Amino acid sequence: MKQVRITVLKKQLYQDIAEKYLTDYPHVECGFFQEGDAFLYTGGAEMPEGSERGTDPWT
């Protein structure tokens, strides 16, 4: 099973977007993750069809 390391690089809160679209504004800032936190995802997710290396412009 493949593992993917995910690292929180930066936390941002866009006040204007949060105020416009979120129902629980202003209590929307995430306190669970902090910048620099890292964890491994070891789930069974599979790449979407057509996203193999070389066919997806983002890889």
pLDDT at 15 (0 to 100) = 86
Q: How far apart are CA 57 and CA 59, in angstroms?
A: 6
At residue 17 the predicted structure's pLDDT band, cuts being 50, 70 and 90, is confident
Question: Which run of H or E residues covers position 18?
Answer: helix 15-21
Which is higher by pLDDT, 30 or 15?
Answer: 15
Ranges of each domain in the chain: 4-41
Q: How far is CA 7 from CA 29, 32, 56, in A?
A: 18, 13, 23
Amino acid making up residue 12: Q
Residue 55, classified by CB atoms within 10 Å of its CB into exposed (0-12), middle (13-18) or buried (19+), is exposed
Question: Which run of H or E residues covers position 4?
Answer: strand 4-7
